[in-house]
Chains A and B, each alone.
Chain A
């Protein structure tokens, strides 16, 4: 059998052999950690043990004494170059490295560049950071209470409320719900999930100092978005940046965001003139990479006593972590959540979503392209089941 050779088959109803299998089954794929360049350096990251804390000091002397360690990058270094913050994929910003405050556990605090993978890890463990713990807010309802500690003190609005979005006819929906013979209401929590692709995130960044062209191999699902963000952050013209996505060991939406590690590898490559590889390990991936869902939903459905739906009202609180880094296909901040009326003939509907900051990593990625469709579909179908049980009719 010749794998990968052209097959005389095709057309509707015919299975087509995949071209990539020929290399994958031989262990000859080209995933990000397989990329190797001459003179390549390695980057590892020191992370915060606190979910919310002031950084009072970062001492890099011990790390710099580790054999093989070449440089340590801190938030102050990046701030001097205007690189401490970068844009998210929504209209918010996120830290590359903090200059004074960490806002979630396992947040990046410093980056260590070394000539070996093991030396970089030794160096990252040797960076000494002094913290002054601050009150932690992990519950979005508590985050919006008066007197709650404000997480994003960098914003003009000294509040944990990010945005409010609503659609539909509020007064009409309330009126119809009140007059409906049957009403069911339910609180639903769709918890945070991590997509946990088999391959973690990482990249190899390289600046050709002669041509000025910057190349980055990375496990990204969104090379064009990454190129734009890199251009904005690094101040390089977009046409001088090439983003190469080799074989990807699963993405599921988790490889759409721009993570600080990518930018740190880019900075290190520009600073040292060497290619720099950054590969996160699984515990970093699970703690610090972006999450999906985290919607607290209250839904109410009105119906006639013979089971005809009348009105739908939904109030949702979205926990976005410390920044709004959601991946959305439209201008709507809650993605495609407005499809929540589903296939049901509601005469009136009203849907509102409020978003809050908490001391967690960014949320809102589109796990398996959900764009809040999963949250919406689960809610409406659950409400239909609850209504059917109340009316003692078959939910199907």
Chain B
């Protein structure tokens, strides 16, 4: 279904009265949206406050922790260090876009099955980084997983189960692909 671009109002929480606004057209989780934003608006604030997608978390504001990781044109980026205007004409995917048609993605299932989360705050960013890894390498070794998530911190320090979850998700994707005789 082709969706019409959903116009969203500038978030009162993110604009100063009388400030300059810039037009942005971006596709978020498959849905085109148009909005007017202050040039300095961070992508993470745009997602959370304008679009109400609060699954993307702010942990450090400095690109260190990875809690705010989303996909920009399929590549993981830390949305606390990307301006909303930089996403104009591009494609953004957040944790809310992982579940499609009421079906959880393999990475979501695997995080639950492997107890790959505790407080849950790093989880969305961790799953977005993992999803990007598995898209290019569906069968990563433990070292490859640890290398891929080195920019995502988990302060509950549940890394062992996170690594297990990511590897399990890779296996699930391969099984699904084999079963369906094609790409998942």
Contacts and interface: CB of A to CB of B under 8 A. Distances in A.
Interface of A: 1, 3, 15, 17-18, 20-29, 31, 33-34, 40, 42, 66-68, 115-119, 122, 195-200, 247-250, 252, 281-283
Contact of A25 (B19, B108, B153): B108
Nearest to B121: A249
Contacts of B16: 66-68, 116, 118-119, 122
A22 B98 CA distance: 13
Nearest to B49: A117
Interface in B100-128: 104, 108-109, 111-112, 115, 117, 119-124, 127
Given A3-B112, A67-B18, A119-B16, A24 B96 contact: no
A202 to B, nearest CB: 10
A25 B59 contact: no
B108 A282 contact: no
Given A42-B13, A250-B119, 7 more contacts: A25-B104, A29-B120, A116-B14, A118-B40, A197-B155, A198-B121, A248-B119
B15 A249 contact: no
A interface majority secondary structure: loop
B59 to A, nearest CB: 5
B83 to A, nearest CB: 13
Q: Lowest 8 CB-CB distances: which A-B pairs, in order? A: A27-B55, A249-B121, A24-B120, A27-B95, A34-B54, A198-B121, A282-B60, A67-B17
Contacts of B119: 197-199, 247-250
Interface of B: 12-19, 38, 40-41, 45, 48-49, 53-62, 64-65, 67, 94-96, 98-99, 104, 108-109, 111-112, 115, 117, 119-124, 127, 153-156
Contacts of A118: 14-16, 38, 40-41
A21 B111 contact: yes
A21 B161 CA distance: 14
A197 B61 CA distance: 14
A148 to B, nearest CB: 36
Given A122-B16, A248-B119, A27 B59 contact: no
13 contacts: A18-B115, A25-B111, A25-B112, A26-B96, A27-B98, A33-B57, A40-B13, A117-B49, A118-B15, A122-B16, A195-B155, A196-B155, A199-B119
Contacts of B56: 27
A198 B115 contact: no
B55 A3 contact: no
A207 to B, nearest CB: 20
A199 B59 contact: yes
Nearest to A286: B60
Contacts, number: 128
A196 B119 CA distance: 13
Contacts of B94: 27
B126 to A, nearest CB: 10
A117 B14 contact: yes
A116 B19 CA distance: 12
B15 A33 contact: no
Q: Which of A1, A3, A17, A116 has the most chain B CB atoms inside 10 A of its CB?
A: A116
A338 B53 CA distance: 49
A198 B104 contact: no
A250 B95 contact: no
A252 B12 contact: no
Contacts of A17: 112
Given A24-B117, A116-B12, A118-B40, A198 B112 contact: no
Contact of B67 (A28, A42, A122, A198): A198
A27 B96 contact: yes
B117 A25 contact: yes
Nearest to B108: A25
A330 B111 CA distance: 39
Contacts of B58: 33
A33 B48 contact: yes
A199 B62 CA distance: 14
Contact of A198 (B15, B48, B153): B153
A31 B19 contact: no
Contacts of B156: 250
Contacts of B153: 198
Contacts of B65: 198, 282
A199 B109 contact: no
Contact of A28 (B55, B111, B115): B55
